[in-house]
A = this chain, B = another copy of it.
Amino acid sequence: MPRSGQEARERLARAALELFLERGFDAVTAAEIAARAGVTERTYFRHFPDKREVLFDGERRLTEWVTEALASVPADVPLWPAMRRTVDLIVAPLEANRPDSDRLAAIVKATPALRERAASKEARLVSIITGLLVGRGASTDEAALVARTAWGVLAQAIEAWRAAPGTSLQVHVDRGFTLLTGLVGGAQGDPPR
């Protein structure tokens, strides 16, 4: 293997994070990020497809966690319980990662262009999960619905977790699932036609 490229990539990611924290996403140019990392703008774009993507490099790990978690659930567990266990399994890594992900979330929240990218990443993750569920034997419709719903619970839990420092993510997740079960499963009158 030739000279480590991976190293430059990490310097770029760190430089970008610093600059975005210092001055905000919009006030930083790609050339400046590259300069701080000691490379050229062109090199930046060889490592990341655009200015935003540096920040979302960690999302790949999330995908891995989900994939592994779901794979670790026995195949005979029905869809929804399997998804629930999967969510439980990725709570730990998420909590371990909190300090970093909090800073990231702050930057993203403050920048529309980044929120857009984040929303897109979520959608992509949901569709990956859907694929995995289909691989477990679910119908496409079921899989998509379960993936969307479970992700919704987790996403909402994460949001509440960030809003309330010092709380445990697991608590929010549990609350979300029970809340959902109560709301949806409850026999309150909603006549289908």
Contacts and interface: CB of A to CB of B under 8 A. Distances in A.
Nearest to A144: B156
A57 interface: no
B145 A180 contact: yes
A183 B119 CA distance: 26
Contact of A185 (B115, B186, B189): B186
Contact of A174 (B116, B160, B192): B192
Interface in A125-159: 141-142, 144-146, 148-149, 152-153, 155-156, 159
Interface string A113-128: 0011101101100000
Given A115-B123, A119-B123, A152-B149, A141 B179 contact: yes
Contact of A190 (B81, B160, B188): B81
Contacts of A180: 145, 149, 184
A82 to B, nearest CB: 9
A88 to B, nearest CB: 8
A142 B159 CA distance: 13
A190 to B, nearest CB: 4
A97 interface: no
A9 to B, nearest CB: 22
Interface of A: 78-81, 84-85, 88, 115-117, 119-120, 122-123, 141-142, 144-146, 148-149, 152-153, 155-156, 159-160, 174-181, 183-186, 188-193
- The 8 A-B residue pairs with the shortest CB-CB distance in the complex, in nearest-first order: A185-B185, A148-B152, A81-B190, A119-B119, A116-B120, A119-B123, A80-B183, A119-B120
